[in-house]
Amino acid sequence: MKKRFKKIIQVAIAVDDLDKYLKIFNDEYGIGPWEIYYINKETTKDMKRNGEEKDFEYKVAMCHLGDVELELTQPIDDNSIYSKFLKEHGPGLHHIGFEVDDFDETLEFLNKKGVVTKQSGNWRGKVFAHMGTEKDLLFVLEIFKTGKNYKHPKPEDIYPKEGER
């Protein structure tokens, strides 16, 4: 079988209180610093849940550890897959993001296997798709397609602040 997934680029944890977990990760364990962003209708186009247009909103904190990004995600509304996850499981590992050679081909491959796209969007030029692989892989799988002109945006906030590091 063709190798589709090149490397892990993100591990994401759903949390119910981002500030609380930032303090635990950074202040108690030394994992940080964190860049904070909002995913919502102002920052993300083509938002979909289960293939249908649906606005959702959540806050993410990203920490770069070598080639892997650790992400803490707190839902702001009840429309995202994170809100449903927290209601069913509480805080914990939510998804693992993979680099792929061909986003569209990988998406087609997964869809042909019966794997649904649970949530997707285009965040500032970076397309993401959360795939419903929990039954087989025991976690949600995320894939990305980065546009040619994509430039990682400046964070909307950081933790800890520059003077607190």
> Which residues, other chains included, contact 45 with Cβ-Cβ below 8 Å and sequence gap of 6+?
121, 122
What is the structure's pLDDT at 101? 92
Does residue 163 surpass a pLDDT of 80?
no
Does residue 48 surpass a pLDDT of 80?
yes
pLDDT higher for 147 or 121?
A: 121
Percentage of the chain with pLDDT > 90?
90
Does residue 165 surpass a pLDDT of 70?
no
What is the structure's pLDDT at 76? 97
Does residue 164 surpass a pLDDT of 70?
no
Does residue 67 surpass a pLDDT of 90?
yes
Question: DSSP letter string over 64-127?
Answer: EETTEEEEEEEESSSSSHHHHHHHHH-SEEEEEEEEES-HHHHHHHHHHTT--EEEEEEETTEE
Sorted by where each begins, the domain ranges of the chain are: 5-164
The class (CATH top level) of 5-164 is alpha beta
What are the pLDDT digits (tens) for 88-124? 999 999 999 999 999 999 999 999 999 999 999 999 9
What is the structure's pLDDT at 85? 97
pTM recorded for the entire structure? 0.93
DSSP state of 154: P
